[in-house]
């Protein structure tokens, strides 16, 4: 999985490339701030604070609302990520399978070493 830089100047009309697919440019008027970004970020941060302070259910609900707001506002990006999700999950599964194999091998080597040292 490669890191994807997503940076461009405010009000830029250039599309963003994400894993070979172009996302539509963000339409922003420099005079009016985009409050949905601030609202979504604020609710996700508030949800994280609530979770950290021990109010898990409330924090999860607030964070889910913030995530939903972000997904509603960035529908095209969400569609691209949704299409890419199976590939990401497959890569994660492959990584976990390899890690499990390494751990099994290390355990077997440990048992062999213990049996040698006990003699």
Q: pLDDT tens digit string along 57-97?
A: 999 999 999 888 888 888 888 888 889 989 999 999 999 99
Contacts 24+ apart (CB under 8 A), 87-94: 88/1, 91/1
Does the pTM surpass 0.85? The reply is no
The kind and range of the H/E element at 30 are none
Determine the Cα–Cα distance for residues 69 and 44; give it in Å rounded to an integer. Answer: 10
3-class SS at 40? helix
Q: What pLDDT, on the 0 to 100 scale, is given for residue 1? A: 47
Averaged pLDDT for residues 43-59: 92
The token duo for 119 is: 């003699």
Query: Cβ(78)–Cβ(41) under 8 Å?
Result: no
Whether residue 98 is predicted with pLDDT greater than 70 in this model: the reply is: yes
């Amino acid at each position: 999985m490669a890191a994807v830089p997503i940076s461009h100047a405010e009000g830029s009309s250039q599309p963003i490339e994400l894993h070979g697919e172009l996302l539509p440019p963000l339409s922003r008027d420099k005079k009016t701030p985009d409050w949905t970004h601030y609202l979504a970020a604020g609710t996700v941060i508030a949800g994280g604070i609530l979770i950290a302070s021990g109010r898990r259910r409330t924090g999860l609900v607030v964070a889910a609302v913030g995530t939903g707001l972000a997904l509603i506002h960035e529908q095209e990006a969400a569609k691209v990520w949704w299409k890419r999700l199976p590939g990401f999950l497959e890569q994660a599964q492959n990584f976990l399978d390899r890690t499990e194999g390494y751990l099994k091998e290390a355990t077997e080597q440990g048992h062999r070493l213990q049996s040698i040292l006990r003699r």
